[in-house]
Amino acid sequence: MLVLARKVGEKLKIGDSIEVVVVEIKGDTVRLGISAPRGVAIYRQEIYEAIQRENQAASTVPLDLDSTKKLTMPLKFAPSSTIKYTKGPARDRPRLNGKEAVSKFKEE
């Protein structure tokens, strides 16, 4: 692995089209700014892995779903007021993995 030292405000180039800048260093957290072409997807590692797992779990919907009893009264939609989102710094957000997140929203 290539390891390079950079100061706040200094940049890295990855190939011709990707630029990474160190925006801020605070305690043990480094904030990075990344410019990349639209086709290049950027993920936090743990989110990348969580989405991978979720996609793979969703890829095994049972074959006989359509023959199961059609949805009727006992099932109600979870109220949409349980879904909220916030836009803001990552440190202010709840964790985004699974049941904890879902149950947290239900409590709010």
Partner 1 sequence: MTKRISSSRLGELELSTDEIINFSEGFLGLPTWQEAVLRQTEVAPYLLWLQFTHDPDAAFLLLDIESVLPDYDLNLARAATDYGPAARVLAIVSVPDGRLANATVNLFAPLVIAPTPAPQGRQVVLHDTAYPLRHALFTEDEPC
Spacing of C-alpha 72 from chain mean position: 33
Task: Kindly identify the residues of this chain, within the stretch 78-107, that bind partner 1 according to CB under 8 A.
Answer: 78-90, 93-94, 96-99, 101-102, 105
Classify residue 43 by burial, with Cβ atoms within 10 Å: 0-12, 13-18, 19+: exposed
Among 27, 45, 62, 107, binds partner 1 (CB under 8 A): 62
Helix (H, G, I), strand (E, B) or coil at 62: coil
Which residues of the shown chain bind partner 1 in the complex (CB under 8 A)? 38-39, 41, 43-44, 47-48, 50-59, 61-63, 65-66, 68, 70-71, 73-90, 93-94, 96-99, 101-102, 105
